[in-house]
Structure 1
Amino acid sequence: MEKEKVCNMKIFLTTPMPFLLLLILPNGVFSSECPKDCSCPSPESILCFQRRSSTIPSGVAPSTKSLYLFANGIEGLSTDDFDGLENLEMLDLSQNKLTHLPDRVFEPLTSLRNLDLSSNQITHISDACFQGMVLLERLYLYSNHITSIHPSAFNGLDHLLELKLQGNMLTSLPTLAMPQLLLLDLRFNVLPTLGPSDLQTPNLESLKLGGVGLTSLNKELIGTLKNLHELDISGNKLESFPPALKETQGLVYLSLAGNPMGPLKVHDLQNLSELQELDISSLSLQGLPEEFSQLFPHLRKLTVAENPFNCLCNLAWFPRWLRAQSITLEKTEVTRCHFPPINSGKVLERLEHRDFGCPTTTTVTTSTVKTTTTTVPVPVTTLPTTTREIPVPRASDNPTDKEGDYPLPPDPASPSSSSIDQDNDPNFCPSQTCLNGGTCRLDQHGQVDCTCPHGTSGMYCEIQIHHPPSPPESSTTTVTPDAPDISSHQATATSILLDLHRYIEARPYIRGIRLTYRNLSGPDRRPIQLSLPSSFPEYRLRGLNPNSTYAVCASPLGDNSGIDSVCTEAHTTPDNTRGSNARIEDPKLTTMLVPALAILLVVVLIAVAVGVVCYLRRKKAKGHLELECEPSQLELDGVKAGLDNGALPHKQAQLMIPEPAVQHSNMEYEVLLLQDHCTSNNNMSSHKPPFF
């Protein structure tokens, strides 16, 4: 036993000290090689998160390959910070406070392949910032304050695969001669005139130009990008479908969202058959042609949100096509119907074929009669007589979706109308669709067409040529220095007029307004959203509940951060329209009152006849016998016989005296059989009071 202990002691003493430390320390990492306030999950990786230091940490081991220094508060860099880090491949300096990049600051990092400088405060990229970084593959400079880039800033980056510059303040771009570049993100800069001389990137696969101010897409530029698979040109100023895309082949992803290009045409999309994802949100689309379903056999994701769809028969194919092709409809909850009122606010994807109001046709054969539903688009103005009337919800109703979805606020027709016959109204359109006095009509395809008066233009007559619309002279809409950005006035029991003048004037850059409102007084407080163009200085919320408080918020369209959101509270007035007069106008009450009054009249006549009989008997009586105003059974039989000949309906089995008549709360009438001036026969059976 003693000999074994001695042997173990000799082994411990002869073992090298570094090896012993590797056995003792967790994960075999030397504590002295991990910088202060950092963690070292592996021997080649160092993570320093929120270290709260303005400089690079010291003591980074030369063997380190990945160094993460995001959100540390670093304010400056120098070449000395990276001496001896020739093996470093990944450097993350994002979310710091860098404002300047010294020349050749990264030159010691000869093996660096990934550099992330995003979310700093860098303003300029000089010609020598990235000198010596011959192996760099990914360079992220997005979300900075970069206003200029030296023309030769990216020279020598021949192996660069990804370059992200989105969210800066660039107004021009140096020539990007990068033969290996696969992804280029330039979104949210001001670059309206990009041409083939700017992008010499023949192998580019993904190009993102959203929100750069394009008024047209350079045909030659797209023609040089033979390997392009993804293209994002959303949020620009394209007023028509870019002709450059009509000859483009091989696109897998395309985003056209948020451009004022209007309805899409089938022939514009014929060469895009390889698309797997398509985004056509916020294009003011009122419908889609059924040929659309034949253009994209490989489509898997589709986004058509925030469009004012007319959910009529010519759009009935759309939900069925989505289900048949297993296509995922993105942003489903904001893809809703705008028209007709019966479908307004409903989720488009969840509508059934019968919900689109398609006409029915009857086919008669020698053996059977079969009723089928046709899907052929029929103009709204010439629907056959078999089409059922579509009820329009009144202003006092609270429209809900049968699936439980909260509706978007409709612009219904006149609230006094309970139903609309489309055969008799060829100009049937939602009220307030056309602005500035425009006349609304439906064309042969069921699309809304506004005839604008002199001095206005636009799809909805929203543009005034001579001068912009001025707010009303009412004192409630006068803009004062202390007035809120949004306010409400002219409230009724079911609507509130919102004043957005000040909100639009303070934000001339916005392209649209997102209104969000919820009922604070009711049990259902789910938010309801509505998108408006920035040319609407006023907007009326409809379909609200009486005597309720609503929270209304406005934010720029496309801004989901909520930073620039402005809110107010608005109140609807109590509903005073339903009084005693409303009951008289109720058709059910009318059908009850008329028969009841007629029967009362007959009862009065019977009472008069009985009174006459009593009077005659009393006059002819001898011996001054006291009568109890009780006719004999023979006389009653005579009266009843006369009534059976037509004076009273056969179901009237007993004589009834009309005084007094009592009306119950359920609108029924009870006529009492006893009178004060006449006693009843003791041997007469009691009668239950009749009800009408």
Structure 2
Amino acid sequence: MKIFLRPLMPLLLFLILPDLAFAFICPVHCSCSTPEAIFCFQRRSPTIPNPKEVHHSIKNFYLFSNGIETITAQDFDGLHHLEMLDLSQNKLTQLPDRVFEPLTSLKNLDLSSNQITHISKECFHGMAQLERLYLYSNQIKAIHPTAFNGLEHLLELKLQGNMLTSLPTLSMPQLLLLDLRFNVLPSLGPSDLQTPNLESLKLGGVGLTSLNKELIGSLKNLHELDISENQLKSFPSALKETPGLFSLSLAGNPMGPLKAEDMQNLKELHELDISSLSLQGLPEELSQLFSHLRKLTVAENPFNCLCNLAWFPRWLRAQSITLERTEETRCHFPPVNAGKVLERLEHRDFGCPTTTTVTTSTVKTTTTTLSVPVTTFPTTTRVIQVPRASDNPADKEDFPLPPVPVSTSTSSSIDPELHFCPPHTCLNGGTCHLDQNGQVECTCSHGTSGMYCEVQNPSPPSLPPAEPPKATVTSDPPEISSHQATATSILLDLHRYIEMRPYIRGIRLTYRNLSGPDRRPIQLSLPASFPEYRLRGLNPNSTYTVCVSPLGSPSGIDSICTEANTAPESTRGPDARSESPKITTMLVPATAILLLLMLIAVAVGVVCYLRRKKAKGHLDLDCEPPQLELDGVKAGLDNVSLPHKQPQLVIPEPAVQNGNLEYEVLLVQDNSTSNNNMSSHKPSYF
């Protein structure tokens, strides 16, 4: 009985489960991973697969990037259960009338990235169940006024990236998303969009010069609005009465600075894009308005990273707001912050005024608005001491500060660039402004000089000098000093500065070149265990100002400055003179070793000669190997194939950065040989 039934098993299964026999029918050059889905990718065929090869129970049919040029209604015969059809990235130029009529259950149709030029009257006839229609990235210039009639269940319509100049009336009561970006539709009104339940409207790059207030007012359920890349020259008044927005994009409009009062009714925003608006700053009131904000984009704006923007990075961290396109959100001004990522700046980087303590030889007082420097003049350097806290807390005697001279500028109008200078940049009544290169300069008042007007010049001899106040003159050595080392380096002596501050953990060292066009400061961080430090990579015959302050303290607090000069460049530096002793030291042992080897060779030759003379015919036994052994070695080399050892390519050690702008190349390199024919290796930066 079992033997009789075994050949009939396939026939019985075919009769019992007829659908199973067709479930795995798959068209040629396609993939059928599940019985309900067919993937036909890059078939390179101008037509759709034969419908006889497709089972009628299929629900998802993917035909993207196949080179299909034409479709007909017969291509979809029998596919009554199909719910998703993907014909994107093909070469369709037109859609025949009623071409999708056999697909009575279709809900999703993707025709994007084809070459369709127009939408006819009955193109989508019979598609009452359609929910998503994607027509973006085509060449559509015209849509028949009744082309979308009957699509009452449509939820999403994407038409972006076409050539539309007008839009038929969209009467779609269930539509939730409409994407019209990058067409030419500058005058959309409420009669064009009869979509009362619309949640997302994207009008980026359609040429809007204003936003229709009645159109936005008719969309009571609107949550997402994109009006980027238009020609809006001011904040749209229609948005002032749209409190339900969750996402808003204003990027790329020439609307100028934002005002907090314009956005009072947008407190429910979760996402905001205000990139590419030529913004130089942001009103701090925004931090009080957007309590629900989670994503913010402010990229490609020329921000002035000054004190009035110091709140921004702190607010982002406090509210856990994600700053999109972080690397494209950078400072434009001042030069010290130019190019830095805005989100990564600390509060001290914005140049905000800080509370300082002023100490002089005759005056001890505390103030928050004025600083009086003490200047001494050593023989080779000029030390500029920024005031710091008094070391003697028991001294309680205070005196009033001397008056500050008033600037004698003849101009009655205030230069607008003065607002960009950090406060108290220029001392003794000097006026701060920027030169053509964006560098900070000070115009000093009468009787003062120096880069920051820190030097008070003595009165002319013709005038009777006023009796100076009696003061105790101290001759303490400067806390930092410098010495000329070479044309490209300066040796700094920090012994006294560290001894007077045993509490500091590190030193912030800042220096800039006063002789060249680029005066931007360069900062280094040093441990407190460095009583001496050599600045390298400097320009010859230049004047540098060098300042040190405790690491971690606000900029300008307890800072000591000095000026130093590098020597002129010469063809033979001091290092060249020190080479001869080294060479002599190396040559003496080498010569001695060579002489010793020569003596040993002579001695061996004499011994061999005497043995030959004494042995009389047995000369080869002691001094040379036998001929048989030589033949045996040769035979071994001939019979045994030895592998050729490849020469080892040794790459020199890379240049090592010493913490400054100068790089030092290691002179002693292990496992490397000299080869003048080897091409030089360029350093890799990746």
The partner residue of 1:300 within 285, 294, 298 is: 294
Q: Distance in 2 between matches of 1:370 and 1:185?
A: 66
Q: Which residue of 2 is the match for residue 38 of structure 1? A: 30
**Residue 44 (structure 2) pairs with residue 52 (structure 1):** yes
Q: Distance in 2 between matches of 1:68 and 1:50?
A: 11
- Secondary structure, counterpart of 1:91 in structure 2: strand
Q: Which residue of 2 is the match for residue 242 of structure 1? A: 236
Fraction of identical pairs, as percent: 70
Q: Distance in 2 between matches of 1:422 and 1:74?
A: 73
- Secondary structure, counterpart of 2:433 in structure 1: coil
Q: Which residue of 1 is the match for residue 352 of structure 2? A: 358
Deviation at 1:372, TM superposition (A): 12
Gaps of 5+ in 1: 1-5, 374-382, 388-412, 434-541, 546-576, 594-662, 669-692
**Residue 43 (structure 2) pairs with residue 134 (structure 1):** no
Deviation at 1:112, TM superposition (A): 0.5
Gaps of 5+ in 2: 359-363, 374-416, 439-516, 521-537, 547-561, 578-686
The partner residue of 2:163 within 151, 169, 173 is: 169
The partner residue of 2:425 within 421, 426, 429 is: 421
Q: Which residue of 2 is the match for residue 337 of structure 1? A: 331
Q: Which residue of 2 is the match for residue 78 of structure 1? A: 72
Give the 3 Å change call, closer, same or farther, for CA 173–431 of structure 1 in structure 2: farther
* Count of residue pairs the alignment pairs up: 411
For residue 42 of structure 1, what is the amino acid of its counterpart?
A: T
Q: Distance in 1 between matches of 2:545 and 2:300?
A: 41
Give the 3 Å change call, closer, same or farther, for CA 179–386 of structure 1 in structure 2: farther
User: Is the 1:213–1:236 contact (alpha carbons within 8 Å) kept by the matching residues of 2?
Assistant: yes
For residue 168 of structure 2, what is the amino acid of its counterpart?
A: P
Give the 3 Å change call, closer, same or farther, for CA 249–77 of structure 1 in structure 2: same
- Secondary structure, counterpart of 1:428 in structure 2: strand
Deviation at 1:32, TM superposition (A): 7.0
Give the 3 Å change call, closer, same or farther, for CA 589–196 of structure 1 in structure 2: closer
For residue 181 of structure 2, what is the amino acid of its counterpart?
A: R
What CA RMSD, in Å, does the superposition of the two structures yield over aligned residues? 3.9
Q: Distance in 1 between matches of 2:425 and 2:203?
A: 48
Q: Which residue of 2 is the match for residue 214 of structure 1? A: 208
Deviation at 1:12, TM superposition (A): 2.4
Q: Distance in 2 between matches of 1:72 and 1:22?
A: 37
Deviation at 1:17, TM superposition (A): 2.2
Q: Distance in 1 between matches of 2:21 and 2:370?
A: 83
**Equivalences for 1:403-552 in 2 at 5 Å?**
421=425, 428-429=433-434, 431=436
User: Is the 1:106–1:132 contact (alpha carbons within 8 Å) kept by the matching residues of 2?
Assistant: yes
Q: Distance in 2 between matches of 1:261 and 1:30?
A: 62
Q: Distance in 2 between matches of 1:93 and 1:348?
A: 45
Give the 3 Å change call, closer, same or farther, for CA 583–89 of structure 1 in structure 2: closer
Give the 3 Å change call, closer, same or farther, for CA 425–79 of structure 1 in structure 2: farther
Q: Distance in 2 between matches of 1:85 and 1:386?
A: 89
Q: Distance in 2 between matches of 1:130 and 1:287?
A: 50
Give the 3 Å change call, closer, same or farther, for CA 30–354 of structure 1 in structure 2: same
Q: Distance in 2 between matches of 1:432 and 1:21?
A: 89
Q: Which residue of 1 is the match for residue 496 of structure 2? A: none
Instruction: Provide the TM-score with structure 1 as the length reference.
Output: 0.54
Q: Distance in 2 between matches of 1:172 and 1:196?
A: 14
Give the 3 Å change call, closer, same or farther, for CA 371–332 of structure 1 in structure 2: farther
Instruction: Provide the TM-score with structure 2 as the length reference.
Output: 0.55
Deviation at 1:176, TM superposition (A): 0.3
The partner residue of 2:319 within 325, 335, 339 is: 325
- Per-residue CA deviation, residues 325-361 of structure 1 (Å, 9 max, x unaligned), is 0000000001011111111110000000111111013
**Residue 6 (structure 2) pairs with residue 12 (structure 1):** yes
Give the 3 Å change call, closer, same or farther, for CA 175–363 of structure 1 in structure 2: farther
Give the 3 Å change call, closer, same or farther, for CA 22–236 of structure 1 in structure 2: farther
Q: Which residue of 2 is the match for residue 553 of structure 1? A: none
Deviation at 1:75, TM superposition (A): 0.3
For residue 187 of structure 1, what is the amino acid of its counterpart?
A: R
**Equivalences for 1:104-143 in 2 at 5 Å?**
104-143=98-137
User: Is the 1:362–1:370 contact (alpha carbons within 8 Å) kept by the matching residues of 2?
Assistant: no
Give the 3 Å change call, closer, same or farther, for CA 667–260 of structure 1 in structure 2: farther
For residue 43 of structure 1, what is the amino acid of its counterpart?
A: P
Deviation at 1:281, TM superposition (A): 0.2
Q: Which residue of 1 is the match for residue 270 of structure 2? A: 276
Q: Distance in 2 between matches of 1:544 and 1:56?
A: 69
Q: Which residue of 1 is the match for residue 603 of structure 2? A: none
- Secondary structure, counterpart of 2:355 in structure 1: strand
Q: Distance in 1 between matches of 2:88 and 2:216?
A: 32
Deviation at 1:592, TM superposition (A): 10
